[in-house]
Amino acid sequence: MTTSKKWNRKEVMRYLIDEWIKPIAVALVLALVIRTYFVQAYKIPTGSMRMTLLENDKILVDKISYRFHGPHRGDVVVFKYPLDPKKDFVKRLIAFGGETVEIKDGAVFINGKMLEVPGTIRKNYYYNREDWPYGRMGQQFEVPKDSYFCLGDNSAQSSDSRNWGFVPKKNLSGRAFLIWWPPKRISLIN
């Protein structure tokens, strides 16, 4: 003779809440907190950062370290696009507020001196664009206080600070640090 326990409606609801709803709610809150304050995933839609980042690469962005220290020249940063803050852009940070910038013969000059370090910036060829407000041949300009000048590594195919101007400090979301997809491209971002 077997005995089976009959569940009443109250017990079923308590079981569902304790075993399913509470753990799922905790997981969702944790995921939201992590995404908002610590790390967020992004997908690269264009080739503006080739060869560092390719179309459809998926990256992780560190959103917390800039709360403790400022960004460094050469960091690959994610920020709210100044002309449409609903869009996120990813570019390389080239210059800080108060610095004078000139692009000449494919190289970037900061305060009259060619950037040699970090090496990644020097490896890229940055084009002058005569039809854009910044970066024309022979043009020197100063980056406004509390702003950054950012360029795409694929300078010929990048709409960047040469076109739309400077990135306000408040728009900076974080530093891209890892390509996590596709598997064959998993690597740290220089």
128 φ/ψ angles, rounded to the nearest 5 degrees: -80, 145
Angle at 132 (CA atoms; ends 85, 162), nearest 5 degrees: 55
Dihedral angle computed from the Cα positions of residues 151, 168, 84 and 28, in that order, rounded to the nearest 10 degrees: 100
Say how many CA atoms lie within 13 Å of 37 toward its Cβ.
7
For the chain, report the end-to-end CA distance as a whole number of angstroms: 70
42 φ/ψ angles, rounded to the nearest 5 degrees: -135, 155
158 included as an active-site residue? no
- What is d(CA 44, CA 13) in angstroms, rounded to the nearest whole number? 44
- What is d(CA 23, CA 17) in angstroms, rounded to the nearest whole number? 9
145 included as an active-site residue? no
CB 159 within 8 A of CB 105: no
Catalytic one among 5, 87, 91, 113? 91
Catalytic one among 48, 155, 158, 161? 48
Catalytic residues: 48, 91
